[in-house]
Amino acid sequence: MVFNEFSTFKKYETEIAGRPFVVEVGKMAQLAGGSCLVRYGETNVLCTATMAPKPREGVDFFPLSVDYEEKLYSVGRIPGSFQRREGKASEKATLASRVIDRPIRPLFPKDMRNDVGVVATVMSVDPDCEPQIAAMLGVSIAISISEIPWDGPIAGVVVGLVDGEYVINPTLEQRAKSDMYVTVASTSELVAMIEAGANEVSNDDMYDGIMFAHKENQKIVEFINMIKAEVGKEKVEFPSNDPDPEMYEAIKEFSIEDIRAALDTDDKRIRDERLKPVYEKVHEKFDEIYPEMEVKIEECLYKVQKYVVRRWLLDDGKRVDGRGIDEIRPLNAQIDLLDRVHGSGMFTRGQTQVLSVVTLGTMSDAQSLDGLDEEDTKRYIHHYNFPSYSVGETKPPRGPGRREIGHGALAERSLVPVLPSVEEFPYTIRVVSEVLSSNGSTSQGSVCGSTLSLMAAGVPIKAPVAGISCGLITEGDRFMTMVDIQGLEDFFGDMDFKVAGTKKGITSIQMDLKVHGLTPAIIREALDKTYKARCYILDEVIAPVIAEPRAELSKWAPKMLSTKIDPDKIGDVIGKQGKVIQKICAECNCKIDVEEDGSVFVSSTDLEDCKKAIGIVETIANGPEIGAIYKGIVTRLMSFGAFVEIVPGIEGMVHISQLDVKRTEKVEDVVTVGDEVIVKVLEKDDQGRLNFSRREALIEVEGLVPENTLSDTPRKGGSFRGNRGNRPPKKN
In the predicted structure, residue 723 carries a pLDDT above the cut 90: no
Alpha helices in 290-433 (DSSP H): 294-311, 402-415
The answer to whether 2-231 and 331-545 have equal CATH topology is yes
pLDDT digits (tens, 9 = 90+) for 564-585: 999 999 999 999 899 999 999 9
What is residue 465's predicted lDDT score, i.e. its pLDDT? 98
pLDDT digits (tens, 9 = 90+) for 611-648: 999 999 999 999 899 999 999 999 999 999 999 999 98
| Cis peptide bond N-terminal to 153, omega within 30 | yes
Which of these CATH numbers, 3.40.630.30, 3.50.50.60, 3.30.1370.10, 3.30.420.60, describes 558-622?
Answer: 3.30.1370.10
Question: Which phi and psi angles does 541 have, rounded to 5°?
Answer: -120, -50
The percentage of residues in the chain with a pLDDT greater than 90, rounded to a whole number, is: 78
pLDDT digits (tens, 9 = 90+) for 250-273: 999 999 999 999 999 988 889 999
User: What are the domain boundaries of the chain?
Assistant: 2-231, 245-316, 331-545, 558-622, 624-732
Topology classification of domain 245-316: Arc Repressor Mutant, subunit A (1.10.10)
What is residue 644's predicted lDDT score, i.e. its pLDDT? 95
Topology classification of domain 624-732: OB fold (Dihydrolipoamide Acetyltransferase, E2P) (2.40.50)
What is residue 707's predicted lDDT score, i.e. its pLDDT? 65
pLDDT digits (tens, 9 = 90+) for 57-102: 878 889 999 999 999 999 998 887 778 888 889 999 999 999 999 9
How far apart, in whole angstroms, are the C-alpha atoms of residue 417 and residue 156? Answer: 24
What is residue 420's predicted lDDT score, i.e. its pLDDT? 96
pLDDT class for 7, splitting at 50, 70, 90?
Answer: low
How far apart, in whole angstroms, are the C-alpha atoms of residue 457 and residue 420? Answer: 13
What is residue 710's predicted lDDT score, i.e. its pLDDT? 37
Most trustworthy range by pLDDT among 80-84, 117-121, 475-479? 117-121
pLDDT digits (tens, 9 = 90+) for 535-562: 999 999 999 999 999 999 998 999 988 8
- CB–CB of 259/278 below 8 Å? yes
Enumerate the β-bridge partners of residue 46: 37, 121
Q: Which helix H or strand E contains 214, and what residues bound it?
A: helix 203-231
Spell 319-331 as b/e; 16+ CB within 10 A means b: bbbebeeeebbeb
- CB–CB of 181/160 below 8 Å? yes
Q: Which residues contact 280 (CB under 8 A, 6 or more apart)?
A: none
Report the mean per-residue pLDDT for the chain.
91
Q: Are strands 7-8 and 380-385 parallel, antiparallel or unpaired?
A: unpaired
In the predicted structure, residue 713 carries a pLDDT above the cut 80: no
| Rounded (10°) CA dihedral 586, 587, 589, 595 | -70
Topology classification of domain 2-231: Ribosomal Protein S5; domain 2 (3.30.230)
The percentage of residues in the chain with a pLDDT greater than 70, rounded to a whole number, is: 95
User: For 331-545, which CATH superfamily applies?
Assistant: GHMP Kinase, N-terminal domain (3.30.230.70)
What is residue 81's predicted lDDT score, i.e. its pLDDT? 76
